Amino acid sequence: MIRSMTGYARAEQQGPWGRLSWELRSVNHRYLDLQIKLPDEFRVLRRISINAPPEAIFPLVNDHRLVAAWSPYEKKDPAMKRAFSGAASGKGAVYEWDGDSNVGKGRIEIVDSVAPSKVTLKLDMIKPFEGHNTVEFTLQPQGETTTVTWAMHGAVPYMAKLFCMLMNGDRMVGDDFETGLANLKALAEREASQARARQAVAH
């Protein structure tokens, strides 16, 4: 007669925010031990092709005041409080906001700016939960177009891990990035078209 029975199972899955693993143990059909390990770091990345040179797009991601013209987060809470400080644009430019549950409260600062190819920002979220992430805009010329990449990465705090168990964080943030990039594309291509028209008239 079998007096002891132990069951064990383990699985891993690579998700958009990182690798999720779980282990299941059972001893004598009486005890069940379930362990779930969520990723400690995350990365969200989206790209778009814009029919404009990097020099025309770069100012739109290097100046917080110009970012407001295409950022999807500005429309989520039009009544949120905004504050600009530090440099007018580029390294040292700071933007702080305090809004409703759709945008939360936080601070973002440009920590590196390499014209016309890359802008790196430090994002410090205060609400709805604390988080400290890195945001990057990369502009890569491709013939007559420019590939713009909007990426964010950082550690996943405990509350965010619980959030990821219930919601697809990559999809939620990624959808915002896609909306923002589409807005940026429309704005940059419109401004580039207007610039070409002015040049044609001048000549």
Residues 5 and 105 in one domain: no
Domain count, the chain: 2
Tally of CB atoms within 10 A around 203:
5
Residues 100 and 54 in one domain: yes
Domain housing 26:
1-37
- For residue 11, is it left (φ>0), alpha (ψ between -120 and 50) or beta? beta
pLDDT tens, position by position, 58-99 = 999 999 999 999 999 999 998 999 999 999 999 999 999 999
Report long-range pairs for 70-78 (Cβ below 8 Å, ≥24 apart).
70/180, 70/183, 70/184, 70/186, 70/187, 71/180, 71/183, 72/176, 72/179, 72/180, 72/183, 73/103, 73/176, 73/180, 76/100, 76/102, 76/103, 77/102, 77/103
Residues 61 and 22 in one domain: no
- State which amino acid sits at residue 120: T
Residues 190 and 142 in one domain: yes
Residues 76 and 165 in one domain: yes
Residues 6 and 43 in one domain: no
pLDDT tens, position by position, 144-165 = 999 999 999 988 765 555 455 4
Residues 3 and 92 in one domain: no
Residue 175: pLDDT over 80: yes
Residues 18 and 76 in one domain: no
Residues 96 and 134 in one domain: yes
Residues 20 and 95 in one domain: no
Residues 142 and 56 in one domain: yes
Residues 135 and 190 in one domain: yes
Mean pLDDT (the chain) is: 84
